[in-house]
Amino acid sequence: MNRADSLLGPERIGLAVIAATAAVAFALTFRFNVPAMAGTEPGPAFVPRLLAIILFALAACVAANMRGVRERSIVFDRAIVLASLALVAYAVSLPFTGYGLTTCALLALILIIVRAGSWRTVATFSVGMTVATYLIFDRALAIGLPRGPWGF
């Protein structure tokens, strides 16, 4: 049996890890200690649960489309590692620095990592997306976002 026919190629193992992460995240949403809410209010577990379902479904779609595809050599991509580290730093710093500053910094950093364009493009997109998501979630939907020591 050659590597192309192997069921445990690196891409398939990665998909299995993604699917397992989605399943664990979905299961953990049932552990949220929240009071019972009215049927019309989704509650704090709604978005993580929805995202876990979407992640699992996408992993299943990719796995279904991989049938008959030969394994390719995996190339180390520094941008993926740096973006992943930036996302971990975002999750750790969000409660301390607040949504506005942390999200804007994360978006700018990821755009810089993937070389998305000039500093004007990076700054405009980062600030614009942060303001737009803040207005949508905090103001329009009244979903409280973490506030930093500066109040935003």
Over 45-87, what HEC string results? Answer: CHHHHHHHHHHHHHHHHHHHHCCCCCCCCCCCCHHHHHHHHHH
Give 73-87 pLDDT, tens digit per residue: 555 577 778 888 888
How much is the pTM? 0.52
- Token look-up 């580290």 returns 85
The two tokens of residue 89 are 């730093």
Give 117-144 pLDDT, tens digit per residue: 888 888 998 999 888 988 888 778 877 7
